[in-house]
A and B are shown apart, each in its own frame.
Chain A
Amino acid sequence: MAHIALTEGLPGIRGPMVFSPETTKPLCELVQVLLTGPHSLTPAEREMIATYVSSENDCYYCQHCHGSTAAQHLGGGEKDYEFIAQMKRDFESTALSPKMKALLNIAGKIQKGGKQVTTVDVERARQEGATDKEIHDTVLIAAAFCMFNRYVDGLAAWQPHDPDVYREIGQHTARLGYVGRDYKKPLDAIAAKQGSSVTKVAGS
């Protein structure tokens, strides 16, 4: 059960977002600027940074939402979802560019703490072609997900483990972005199974 009274049936951050519209506005604008829109890093790459940090923070909802969004940006096939799973386990062994690996390394340091990022980490990224803006945005994406992950887990928000829920979220988010969405609207994947999931929540 969540630590505060949140609207039932809304997964992860959506309950707190609906609870507090005045903070939701800047939170959505922040993630919109960071993860969507024109950038020298693709939306898939930026979603992967968000996914990796959320995985390191062990936030189930965030890592699966953003992992699914990244997979959808890559094409949405099974192999894309498998790629994201491999990236979370060991990004150095993936076919990602050396620049992305260097940026994920920085993101992993941020997850542990701001002071963990060394000049060696930044030098590696720069040698692989990363710009100041790419380094800045990597640091801020990683920092922002240290916030989002704590927000979701710190309130013990409901986080279903049904892959269909995250596939639907990823499909919507890859297409629509983060602002101007109706986060109160129930997800089809949850509505379809509401009988069973409600029983599960009540009994847990």
Chain B
Amino acid sequence: MAHIQLPERMPGIVGPLAFSPETAKPLLELAEVLLRAPHTLTSAEREMIAAYVSFRNECDFCQLSHSAAAAAHLNGNYDLVEQIKVNPEGAAVSDKLKALLAIAGNVQQGGKQVSAADVAVARERGATDKEIHDTVLIAATFSMYNRYVDGLATWQPREREAYREMGEQLAHQGYTRDRFRETPKAAQS
């Protein structure tokens, strides 16, 4: 049971967003800018950073929903997303993204864990200041969302299948549409 009275059958962050619309607005706008605005990193890459940080924070809802969003951007390639979470160094992604994931993993541990050497590696592999900035902020932002979702003990389905539809919607329709004010279809059945 959640720590506060949340609307029923709304998974993860959806309940708290409905509970507090005045904070939901900037929270969703932030996710939209970070994960979906035009960028030199693809939305799939940015969603993988979000999924990786959420996985390391052991937040089921966030890691499964953003894994599903990343997979939706990758035409359903869940295998790659799973590789990223478990062993990013061995995953079939660019060396630049591996260096950015290493920075994200350090931000997850704490801001001071990011070293000049981590940043130098990313830069050698072609990362720009904006890519490094956005990686740090995506990782920091998910260190917030994960705590918000778990700190209120929200209801979180554990099966990957429950997130497939949500992933498609997040990937292709984004974070700032009205669905967060309604009960998602997947949760009604």
**A is bound by B:** yes
Task: Using CB atoms and an 8 Å cutoff, list the residues of chain A in contact with chain B.
Answer: 1, 3-5, 16, 19-20, 22-23, 25-27, 29-30, 33-34, 57-59, 106, 109-110, 113-115, 117, 119, 122, 132-133, 135-137, 139-140, 142-144, 146-156
Bound complex: CA of A135 vs CA of B3, how far in Å? Answer: 9
Interchain CB contact under 8 A, B152 and A139: yes
Bound complex: CA of A20 vs CA of B137, how far in Å? Answer: 10
- Asked if B41 is at the interface of the complex by the 8 Å CB criterion, the answer is no
Which of the residues B5, B27, B37, B147 comes within 8 Å of A110, measured between beta carbons? B147
Bound complex: CA of A203 vs CA of B132, how far in Å? Answer: 25
The smallest C-beta distance from B186 to any residue of chain A, in angstroms, reads 23
Pick 5 A–B contacts, CB within 8 A, sort by A.
Answer: A3-B114, A114-B147, A117-B151, A140-B148, A146-B140
Interchain CB contact under 8 A, A151 and B136: yes
Interchain CB contact under 8 A, B57 and A113: yes
Of the listed stretches B89-97, B104-112, B164-172, chain A binds B104-112
Residues of chain B within 8 A (CB-CB) of A16 are 133, 137
Interchain CB contact under 8 A, A154 and B152: no
Bound complex: CA of A109 vs CA of B110, how far in Å? Answer: 15
> In the complex, which residues 77-132 of chain B have their Cβ closer than 8 Å to any Cβ of chain A?
103, 106-107, 110-112, 114, 116, 119, 129-130, 132
Bound complex: CA of A106 vs CA of B149, how far in Å? Answer: 14
Interchain CB contact under 8 A, A151 and B137: yes
Chain B minimum-CB-distance residue to A111 = B147
- Asked if B23 is at the interface of the complex by the 8 Å CB criterion, the answer is yes
Residues of chain A within 8 A (CB-CB) of B111 are 57, 59, 149-155
- Asked if B59 is at the interface of the complex by the 8 Å CB criterion, the answer is yes
The smallest C-beta distance from A179 to any residue of chain B, in angstroms, reads 10
Which of the residues B112, B140, B147, B152 comes within 8 Å of A136, measured between beta carbons? B152
Task: Using CB atoms and an 8 Å cutoff, list the residues of chain B in contact with chain A.
Answer: 3-5, 16, 19-20, 22-23, 25-27, 29-30, 33-34, 37, 57-59, 103, 106-107, 110-112, 114, 116, 119, 129-130, 132-134, 136-137, 139-141, 143-153
Given contacts A16-B133, A33-B22, contact A144 B29 (CB under 8 A): no
Interchain CB contact under 8 A, B3 and A33: no
The smallest C-beta distance from A174 to any residue of chain B, in angstroms, reads 21
Which of the residues A5, A33, A146 comes within 8 Å of B129, measured between beta carbons? A5
Chain B minimum-CB-distance residue to A31 = B26
Residues of chain B within 8 A (CB-CB) of A30 are 23, 26-27, 30
Q: Top 9 nearest A-B pairs by Cβ distance?
A: A153-B111, A114-B150, A147-B144, A150-B140, A143-B147, A154-B111, A114-B151, A4-B129, A29-B26
Q: A148-B140, A150-B139 are in contact. List 14 more A-B contacts (CB 8 A).
A: A20-B134, A26-B29, A33-B23, A57-B110, A113-B147, A117-B3, A135-B3, A135-B152, A136-B16, A137-B23, A140-B20, A150-B107, A154-B139, A155-B132
The smallest C-beta distance from B102 to any residue of chain A, in angstroms, reads 12
The smallest C-beta distance from B48 to any residue of chain A, in angstroms, reads 18
Interchain CB contact under 8 A, B19 and A154: no
Bound complex: CA of A150 vs CA of B152, how far in Å? Answer: 21
The smallest C-beta distance from B112 to any residue of chain A, in angstroms, reads 5
The smallest C-beta distance from B27 to any residue of chain A, in angstroms, reads 7
Interchain CB contact under 8 A, B143 and A146: yes
Interchain CB contact under 8 A, A26 and B26: yes
Interchain CB contact under 8 A, A113 and B150: yes
Bound complex: CA of A139 vs CA of B154, how far in Å? Answer: 12
Bound complex: CA of A132 vs CA of B20, how far in Å? Answer: 11
Interchain CB contact under 8 A, B116 and A3: yes
Bound complex: CA of A152 vs CA of B140, how far in Å? Answer: 10
Residues of chain A within 8 A (CB-CB) of B153 are 117, 119
Chain B minimum-CB-distance residue to A34 = B23
